[in-house]
Structure 1
């Protein structure tokens, strides 16, 4: 598996982000969807990575800088053909190390409480994220759970 910074210009990445957004629409009302589209992922405060095995896209994830000491995990997604192969874990560990390298003291994320998000929550818990209240611009929402990790 190769993890690399991605400029979000490739068709495979666009399709995976599209799949991610469609999945969010299936499980959350529109006002509770916090997933970012391609244009929003291209903002200068976000670094986006893709995970590849030769020419095949396995997954993706992003890190948004909230401030000099706090980052947010965004757009974690494994391609449906590569679930349960360790793609998300490897990328999550990579992003955690990058956050530490940047000097962040905390990483946070928003996810859903529904059963569809259970595998993601299990992964986040396994790497040390704990449940917390809303952070940054988020507000309490029955369709959102918030997690954070001290680095």
Structure 2
């Protein structure tokens, strides 16, 4: 697989469908008070950059970086298309986000993910990249359904 990762303007039907699938799935498996997935309109907010990964012209994943403050950013909307799971898409996107965060001068990357079994592969990936548990950040509150992680760059 040869991935091409580029900034996405969020206007295409493929990214809209992937993000709709992401939000719908998060709503189905996460209690409303614990759902933090951003929809398409929320990802268009200032301070958020979204990248998409394509393989042979097909959208296979996306990820976003949300500016928190001059020292830190949050990873949002990491999603691999169902047809591309377990093929290294998420690792490639995460590598890209870490590189971009360093390029932007951030000292810390943060993320929130689920605590349930569904999210185990994501937590394993983040740990493999050196993310460590941290207290809630950026307005998140302690929640038994959430895991908060950070990476010192």
Structure 2-normalised TM-score?
Answer: 0.97
Secondary structure (helix, strand or coil) at the match of 1:140 reads coil
Match of 2:30 among 28, 31, 36: 28
Give the alignment partner of residue 71 of structure 2, picking from 69, 72, 85.
Answer: 69
In structure 2, what is the Cα distance between the partners aligned to 1:61 and 1:41? 10
What secondary structure, in the 3-state scheme, does the structure 2 residue paired with 1:63 have? strand
Q: How many residues align?
A: 151
SS at match of 1:72: strand
- CA–CA distance in 1 between the matches of 2:133 and 2:104? 23
Runs of 4+ aligned residues of structure 1 deviating over 6 Å after TM superposition are: none
Match of 2:125 in 1: 123
Q: 2:109 — aligned with what? A: 107
Q: Which residue of 2 aligns with 1:8?
A: 10
TM-score, reference length from structure 1: 0.98
**How much is the aligned-residue C-alpha RMSD, in angstroms?**
0.6
Q: Does the CA-based 8 Å contact 1:48-1:60 persist in structure 2? A: yes
Superposed CA offset, 1:89-113 (max 9, x none): 0010010000000000000000001
Structure 2 gaps of 5+ residues are none
Give the Cα separation in 2 of the matches to 1:47 and 1:84.
Answer: 24
Residues 93-139 of structure 1, C-alpha deviations (whole Å, 9 max, x = no match): 01000000000000000000100000000000000100111001100
Aligned residue number for residue 80 of structure 1? 82
What is the CA-CA distance between 1:150 and the residue it aligns to? 0.2
Segments of structure 1 that go 5 or more residues without pairing to the other structure are: none
| SS, match of residue 127 in structure 2 | helix
Does the CA contact (< 8 Å) of 1:27 and 1:114 recur in 2? Answer: no
